[in-house]
Amino acid sequence: MTATHEHAELRRVFAAYPTGVAAVAALVEGRPAGIAASSFVSVSLDPPLVSVCVAHTSTTWPALRNVRRLGISVLGAHQELAGHNLGTRGSERFAAVSWRATGDGAVMLRGASAWLDCSIERHIPAGDHDIVLLRVHDLGVGDAPPLVFHGSRFRQLQARTWREDTAPGQRRRGFLGWCQRVVQVHVRRRAGGRPGDRSGGLAGGPGGRAVPDHLGRLADCGAMDPGGTGR
């Protein structure tokens, strides 16, 4: 495998891991300057530390690396345009973006999912990037759901509905699927059947023995219907 092919494969594999998108920004000579980073991660609770990875080829980081404070804004799902602008060279990165600056020069985007006011603790060389360790001085959380970067594209989180969770393709997955299997096995044992037998109902088997209340409640909440097939 050539170096070119190896790099392309690495990019493809790295892109399979979904991340958030963070704006890393500060005032430079009175104007906001910043970059977009999908490598933002938490590092430590005590002391409070986070990090981002910055490419050696960045043309903006040299202006940011010596600032007193840096703002980290976790972009919300509605801030895709800001993420695009911050990740594009030569663009007016803060055009049509609402932002605020602290007295120490950290720049945060308004409406972000979360924000952190940081100072640079340390630069750690790592291949063609620097790992920038940041100490957190202040922080907050917003109401907006986060923007997601996956497969080299911006995406949004989407919660599944109850109907989707109980669809035939999902019933046997996760906790709900576990609930379904527990109730089914118990019903069949009470009915005198084998685990693979699909006969039997919630009323139980001979003698009218019923499913215990706690298992019945699992069934009632959608884990399975009286016929054992799911709602």
Alpha-carbon distance 34 to 8, whole Å? Answer: 27
207: left (phi over 0), alpha (psi -120 to 50) or beta: left
| DSSP 3-state of 174 | helix
pTM value is 0.64
Give residue 141's pLDDT band: very low, low, confident or very high (50, 70, 90). Answer: very high
Q: For 10-59, what is each residue's pLDDT tens digit?
A: 777 777 667 788 999 999 999 999 998 888 999 999 999 999 999 999 99
Delimit the domains of the chain by residue range. Answer: 3-156, 162-223
Q: Which has more confidence, 182 or 102?
A: 102
Q: Residue written as tokens 């509905």? A: 161
pLDDT at residue 225 is higher than 50: no
The pair of structure tokens assigned to 5 is 């092919």
3-156 CATH = 2.30.110.10
C-alpha dihedral over 8, 12, 14, 18, to 10 degrees? 150
- Of 71, 91, 143, 136, give the one whose Cα is nearest residue 83: 91
Range 73-93 average pLDDT: 80
What sections of the chain are H helices per DSSP? 3-14, 61-64, 80-86, 162-165, 174-190, 213-218
Can you tell me the mean pLDDT for 172-181? 57
Q: How far apart are the first and last CA of the chain?
A: 51
- CA distance linking residue 174 with residue 182, whole number of Å: 13
Contact 24, 35 (CB under 8 A): yes
Output the six-digit token pair for 143: 């109401």
Q: Please, which residues bridge with residue 44 across strands?
A: 49
Note whether 131 and 51 are within 8 A (CB).
yes
* Diameter of the chain measured on Cα atoms: 84
Q: What is the pLDDT of residue 108?
A: 95
